[in-house]
Structure 1
Amino acid sequence: MPESLSRAVRWDTVVGALLIVLLLLSFGCVDGFGNALNLSFLLGNTLPIALIALPMTLLVVSGEIDLSVASTAGLSGAVMGRLWNEGMAIETIVPLCLLLGVCCGLVNGLLVTRLGLPSLAVTIGTLAAYRGIAQIVLGSDAVTDFPTQYLDFAAGRIGDTFLPQAFLPFLVLLAVAVVALHATPFGRSLFAIGASEEAARFAGIRVRRQKLVLFVLTGLMASLTGVFWALHYASARYDNATGLELSVVAAVLLGGIDFDGGRGTLGGAIAGVFLLGALQNVMSLLNVSAQSQIVVTGVLLVVSVLGPRVARQISVARAGRRAADPTPTP
């Protein structure tokens, strides 16, 4: 097993263990955590983060990032509400919203890959631009009268279980993303790009095209998340999903995806997503304020960046000491 992958696996194990410990403590010590309604809320509220985390993981592995995902989701929801008010059928609106997400991702990707601009700066700019366009499209209105069957799908549960109906399509998307990242030449090329873009280019990998595809996929999933958000919460507003990008990035990095690219696993990212979702749910049950929850998310983001780096530095230091020590280890 390559050294970088073994590090990611070890970090994944830590995150997975923390998730299990948190769930066990929550079931035993937090009133109301284990009932079906709360577990359904937990999964339903975590799904928007998980949906965007799928392409975001691939993007960060390649050494890029997209901070405009929440604004893209908000723009998608705003357009959905405006078109519904105009009398358009929901079956037509959803594909148009997805196409809009593709366009948003394409704009980000072209600015990064064709003009050579840093993705962090580009997507901070489009974060503001897309949110502003969403406000222009819908104003301060809230659209709530969507078809009942779509609202039931986005917010309903499978029979008497706690599993949301939308969880099954997410599992399909998760399986596709895992195979794409860890079992295809495309996924291997992303790790190569993240590790060394110049070396990947010399190896014949079309770096710019690969990154452009990732930005488009991220925009597509962000717009799908915007549609799901509007239906799940039965409200399309221009400010839907505000701040979601912080949770997505925190969860992905917490799962062991290296911010510099080239390291990590999708399993670790999803473990980070549900660890963050469970922690937010527990804090809500304990009546922790929304502002304090944001602080905790920010702290986790810092820890998720520092943790793997510190672990690698310790590992390198130990390896250096072992190499310098001539005394054989008994």
Structure 2
Amino acid sequence: MPESLTRAVRWDTVVGALLIVVLLFSFGFVDGFGNALNLSFLIGNTLPIALIALPMTLLVVSGEIDLSVASTAGLSGAVMGALWNQGMAIETIIPLCLVLGAVCGLVNGLLVTRLGLPSLAVTIGTLAAYRGIAQIVLGSDAVTDFPSQYLDFAAGRVGDSFLPQAFLPFLVLLVLAVVALHATPFGRSLFAIGAGEEAARFAGIRVKRNKLILFTATGFMSALTGVFWALHYASARYDNATGLELSVVASVLLGGIDFDGGKGTLGGAIAGVFLLGTLQNVMSLLNVSAQSQIVVTGVLLVVSVLGPRAARQIAVARAGRRAAAARTPTATP
């Protein structure tokens, strides 16, 4: 297969093309999909996944994972609601919540990098711990009376368009993440760490420091997502964002990020995010039950792990056959 064609059929390219196909089908055949209100609803509901997917992509590229992101978001929202009930200004609450998220991520990072514990086990534990703390902080209360200007920003649209106002700051964060991963020495070091941690360490890369930065950034973005979630849905509860980690991981892996690390693009991850968000929106318009949507998400998660691996095995097998054919001497008449 020619090299140009090989690049064209990369997994992230396939996901991007599939997203376009799903959008075209939805605009053409799903009633109500193309109106401005639904498109705004789709993007607004997908933004929490997309926000966490930015640092999660970098984390998975480095060979780690954080399953506590939804619980960190829930804890951030719970603290936000509790402090608001106590009369603290929202301008003070939001920075405190972001610092709290960074601390949660730092705890995860220290357990992984300093104690050598596997990130999967650590973040399953903190998933439960952070959600439990959120319930202790706020109980079963729901706080809804946040300032209207913040609610309007989180749920409002840009003029008469379908774009949510919150989508514009997300684009800025997306550009920063793309530059960080694909155009800086730090980003290149993450690919090296994911491809081989020992080799990266011998090459002079500060593996533990870089991973600690990533876990902290993931906690920070999770807390930001928790604040956005509470304002977008006008409700701060301890169980906000429950199950969001499944959608984030499924989207990132669906976009072609290798679960073992070292491979993938942020563009593919974001394509995976909006592909999953579009499918969920279409299923809602078609009155597919929430339980069935969870099943679809789980199936996509399995496909996202198996698909790239199968594609690589096929490519390796094809390369092996070409090499064997090149070594075989041609018969002379």
Q: TM-score range by the shorter chain?
A: over 0.9
What 5-or-longer segments of structure 2 have no aligned partner?
A: none
Aligned positions, number: 330
Segments ≥4 residues shifted beyond 4 Å: 1-9, 323-330
1:58-98: CA deviations, max 9, x gaps?
Answer: 00000000000000000000000000000000000000000
1:220 CA drift (Å): 0.1
In structure 2, do the counterparts of structure 1 residues 272 and 263 end up closer, same or farther at CA, with 3 Å as the change threshold? same
In structure 2, do the counterparts of structure 1 residues 310 and 166 end up closer, same or farther at CA, with 3 Å as the change threshold? same
Please give the alpha-carbon distance, in whole angstroms, between the structure 2 residues aligned to 1:5 and 1:252. Answer: 24
Q: Is the 8 A contact 1:156 1:164 kept in 2?
A: yes
In structure 2, do the counterparts of structure 1 residues 34 and 208 end up closer, same or farther at CA, with 3 Å as the change threshold? same
Q: CA RMSD in A?
A: 2.4
1:234-292: CA deviations, max 9, x gaps?
Answer: 00000000000000000000000000000000000000000000000000000000000
Please give the alpha-carbon distance, in whole angstroms, between the structure 1 residues aligned to 2:123 and 2:331. Answer: 52
1:329 CA drift (Å): 16
Please give the alpha-carbon distance, in whole angstroms, between the structure 1 residues aligned to 2:332 and 2:233. Answer: 61
1:13 CA drift (Å): 1.1
1:297 CA drift (Å): 0.2
In structure 2, do the counterparts of structure 1 residues 282 and 241 end up closer, same or farther at CA, with 3 Å as the change threshold? same
In structure 2, do the counterparts of structure 1 residues 138 and 7 end up closer, same or farther at CA, with 3 Å as the change threshold? farther
1:320 CA drift (Å): 1.3
Question: How high is the TM-score relative to the length of structure 2?
Answer: 0.96
Matched with 2:317 is 317
What 5-or-longer segments of structure 1 have no aligned partner?
A: none
1:150-204: CA deviations, max 9, x gaps?
Answer: 0000000000000000000000000000000000000000000000000000000
Q: Is the 8 A contact 1:4 1:263 kept in 2?
A: no
Question: How high is the TM-score relative to the length of structure 1?
Answer: 0.97
1:56 CA drift (Å): 0.1
Q: Is the 8 A contact 1:70 1:244 kept in 2?
A: yes
In structure 2, do the counterparts of structure 1 residues 141 and 327 end up closer, same or farther at CA, with 3 Å as the change threshold? farther
In structure 2, do the counterparts of structure 1 residues 325 and 32 end up closer, same or farther at CA, with 3 Å as the change threshold? farther
Matched with 1:97 is 97
1:282-306: CA deviations, max 9, x gaps?
Answer: 0000000000000000000000000
Please give the alpha-carbon distance, in whole angstroms, between the structure 1 residues aligned to 2:329 and 2:181. Answer: 41
1:10 CA drift (Å): 1.3
Please give the alpha-carbon distance, in whole angstroms, between the structure 1 residues aligned to 2:59 and 2:129. Answer: 21
Map 1:64-143 to 2 at 5 A.
64-143=64-143
